[in-house]
Structure 1
Amino acid sequence: MKLFSFTEDHKYILKIALPAIAGLSTQMVVSMVDTAMVGRLPDAKYYLAAMGIGVFATWAVVSFFSSLATGTHVVIARRYGEKNYEGCGKVLNTSLALSTMIGIVISSLVVVFADTIANFLAVDDKVAFYAGEYLHYRFLGIPFFLMTVSYRGFYFGIGKTKIFMFSGIIANFLNIIFNYIFIYGMFGIEGMGLAGAGLGSTLATVCDALFYFGVTILPSYRKSYKYFKNLRFVPEIAKSIIQISLPVSIQNVFILIGFLSFISITGLIGTLEQAASNVVFTALLISLMPCFGFGIAVQTLVGNNLGRGDTERARHYGFETSKLAALYTLIVGIVFLAAPRIVLILTTNDGNVIETAAPALRIAGFGQIFYSFGVVLANGLQAAGKTFFVMVAEVISNWLVFVPIAYLLGVVFKLGLIGAWLALPFYVILYAGIIYIKFKYGNWQTYKKV
């Protein structure tokens, strides 16, 4: 009896998923390269610990608003399934207006209070200083980042994930170049260390926004979706986007605050352990980014089929996409378990950090195998409008299981970094189980029009 057989549906899923995975993978490569660059600076453990805080703090803030991509994606996928192409253009315009206004406000606030945020999250003063510099420069680009979020949601919804792939390749290539210049110094520019990574990322984000705008003026898209003809903000569309996005926003913030809490817990164990956790999270992007790509595909496929009124087909695509994602994470998990040091040397050449991180990566490698089921089917539920349920499942699993167990095992029972990371399998297995039960037995296929 075959456990898995490759079908035409799987080919169709991959047609949508692979460009999204390629685009996300470029982000993974940039993250690993950035970590490798920073990991080769003098006093690398301080820079790596600060980078962990800076990156997670950035994600925690922008994730609340980057969920506009989910709301935009879901609404446009439904419109596209209904063959309401001009309606897709109206959604894009409204989403861009929302994201631009929000981006300006958030950027201004975080740039002003960057040092305060860093000092709150860091135990070590030196780590806090470096993290504050990173946040200051990184958040200058947030308005442009949120504009790209709206564009992504639009192209995901109409199934043109290749646009995102090209965007990722171009923007992230520029990110590596800019970061190298500003981290180490070139062309008469003095090296800025970790702050240079923040500035380089901001410049790359500006270029990314310009790329998306360039694509929208192409006749093939401009004439079909008529967004320039309907340049106005539609309150009803904004309400639909916000209703779908808000639970995802809250979920993202809780997830990332949970992981920030975890990073802080490892900081209580030691600065070396905190640096090791940062490189483990970077290595985990090898498995997580493609899972998010499958999640993008399932949102498009479920949303399009719900727009057509074919709920059974929507359910079918959810399960088939999760099978493909699980197969991938199984392969990656075996690599993490068998050769953790080979993976870790891609991010740092610090032998102490590598040896400290290797057991934690083995634990994470086992846990992430189960995560694929949860993240893909959760995206399917979000496409059906069940964003509140997904949020509750995540908050329960992360805040009430992951963080407390990590503190209990790592700090209270003094099991160190290994004890803290042992909390991860409890978290991902519980989350995947809740989502699977809802997708298989719940009433998510009865949806309201958005």
Structure 2
Amino acid sequence: MSALTDHSHPAQSDHSLSYHIRRTIVLALPVVLARLGFMAFVTVDVIVLGRAGPEPLAEYVLGGTVVDSLLATLIGLLMGVPVLAAQVLGAGAHASLGRIWRQGVVYAVVAGALLSVALVFGAAPLFRLLGQDPDLAARAATVTGILALNLPFMAIFVVGTTFLEALNRPIPGMLAVFTANLSNLALNIVLVFGWGPIPALGAPGCALATVINSVLLAIGMSLYIRYGLSDRVALGLSGTVNREPLWRGAGTLRGIGYAAGFAQALEAGSFTAVTLLVGLLGSLALAVHGMMFQFVALTFMVALGLATAAQVRVGNALGRGDSRGLALAGWVGLGLSAAVTGAAATVYVLWPETLLRVFTTDETVLAAAVPVMLWASLAMVCDGGQSVMNQACRGCGDTWVPTGLHVISYWAVFVPVAALLALPLGQGVAGVFQALTLASIISMGILMVRFAVLAKRPLPAPPR
């Protein structure tokens, strides 16, 4: 019997708290490291561009925000891959897994290409329409156009890593991301500041480095899954198990993705709207916002790794018909997220200036950023909790209810409250993170109630 899931684990009947904490950490740790590696791409970009000055950093923050929004949407659209893979794996139908991966890759290429084209042609008019400084908008649009090429390749890589995570094999994705970070740092230094015959490209060079690394990641991960797994035949990855057209049966995968993608679009779109709002406050505010968001996002990646582990374990439990295990998987994920993000927030609040100097030595930027750290720290704890509960609900097969909650918490609360606090009430960037805290508390509370209801429902028949 395979050791791929909790179902086959020797202690599968153990519903003690210590067992579930241990199992969640074992799965989450490499996932967390991989998510931190993803975030490190952007962090390295900000650190390198921070040395180039506030103007290149501002144009990269503005140019990248629309791309980040659509990338988050794209990742949501592909969420059906890990959800279905975890459920099928929990049910023991291993031979169907390869088909899920192949359907995901095709979907990734199509969706990624469409969003990429939209960005290439739509970024410059969007920035002008929203009242950004014309010179800054033109430079930011160049960055957006380059980063847009990244989307199809990053989508293929995301399908591969989330597929392996659903199989409880997160280490290959983690190693791939760590390797790519070394390449990203080297390419950033060369392309941003110039080296030999290569001119200094500034923010566009930083964007080009991201695209190069994404291409390498997509190719490497796809080759590994197709040819590198020792049990690829048993998993249906050899191409000889099921030769039916890939579009058959792909509706369920896409259906899960539509809801998740819409939810991600709502959440990421709200952050994009708020970043554009901060752009109205000037380059200094954008630079502060870009740095502060790194702290929030780095810690959020830890929570997202725990959320992924919770989703996989909830899906496995659903597949094997274990209602108690399903409930414990979700609540343990939430508790671990609160502990980890709370500890990080404490560090951020105690030593803000020391940590901010990693990103900049500009005293003006530092003076503006330090007071914002308290609110950013509080926001990241609440945002991490709502992410875990969101993914736990999706592991139960829930789709549109979490999506509806995003409409309420992010567009009915976060964006309007941020606009009110940042501009008329004069809170500036701090107002953005005050609003994020409020929105996340509302979202987390409602999702906790939703998961509690789902966990008490009779479980459906296992998928085959």
TM-score range, shorter chain: over 0.9
Partner of 1:131: 140
Q: TM-score, normalised by structure 2?
A: 0.90
Match of 2:19 among 8, 28, 31: 8
Match of 1:389 among 401, 406, 423: 401
Partner of 2:197: 188
| One-letter amino acid matched to 1:161 | P
2:46 corresponds to 1:35: yes
CA contact (8 A) 1:117 1:132 kept: no
Partner of 2:303: 291
Task: Give runs of aligned pairs for residues 45-444 of structure 1, distance below 5 A.
Answer: 45-121=54-130, 123-216=132-225, 217-227=227-237, 228-229=239-240, 230=242, 232-442=244-454
**Residues 18, 184 of structure 1: alpha-carbon distance in 2 compared, 3 angstrom cutoff:** same
| One-letter amino acid matched to 2:44 | V
CA contact (8 A) 2:82 2:166 kept: yes
Counterparts of 1:220 and 1:303 in 2: how far apart (Å)?
24
Displacement after TM superposition at 1:233 (Å) = 3.9
* Alignment deviations for residues 209-255 of structure 1 (CA, whole Å, 9 cap, x no partner): 12112312025142221222235543343211111111111111111
Displacement after TM superposition at 1:200 (Å) = 0.5
2:65 corresponds to 1:21: no
Counterparts of 1:395 and 1:102 in 2: how far apart (Å)?
23
Displacement after TM superposition at 1:122 (Å) = 6.0
CA contact (8 A) 1:34 1:179 kept: yes
Counterparts of 2:155 and 2:74 in 1: how far apart (Å)?
8
Counterparts of 1:29 and 1:403 in 2: how far apart (Å)?
26
Displacement after TM superposition at 1:187 (Å) = 4.2
| One-letter amino acid matched to 1:422 | Q
Displacement after TM superposition at 1:442 (Å) = 4.4
233-242 vs 438-447, greater mean Cα deviation:
438-447
Aligned CA RMSD, in angstroms, stands at 2.0
406-415 vs 208-217, greater mean Cα deviation:
406-415
Displacement after TM superposition at 1:65 (Å) = 2.0
Counterparts of 2:40 and 2:229 in 1: how far apart (Å)?
33
| One-letter amino acid matched to 1:249 | G
* Alignment deviations for residues 258-311 of structure 1 (CA, whole Å, 9 cap, x no partner): 112212222333331222111110121221011110011011101111111112
CA contact (8 A) 1:341 1:358 kept: yes
What is the identity percentage for the equivalent residue pairs of Structure 1 and Structure 2? Answer: 23
CA contact (8 A) 1:76 1:154 kept: yes
| One-letter amino acid matched to 1:90 | R
Partner secondary structure for residue 233 of structure 2: helix
CA contact (8 A) 1:114 1:132 kept: yes
Displacement after TM superposition at 1:30 (Å) = 2.4
Displacement after TM superposition at 1:22 (Å) = 0.7
Displacement after TM superposition at 1:21 (Å) = 0.6
Counterparts of 1:17 and 1:225 in 2: how far apart (Å)?
23
**Residues 376, 283 of structure 1: alpha-carbon distance in 2 compared, 3 angstrom cutoff:** same
* Unmatched runs of 5 consecutive residues or more in structure 1: none
Partner secondary structure for residue 40 of structure 1: helix
**Residues 417, 311 of structure 1: alpha-carbon distance in 2 compared, 3 angstrom cutoff:** same
CA contact (8 A) 1:65 1:249 kept: yes
**Residues 219, 244 of structure 1: alpha-carbon distance in 2 compared, 3 angstrom cutoff:** closer
Displacement after TM superposition at 1:371 (Å) = 2.5
Count of residue correspondences: 444
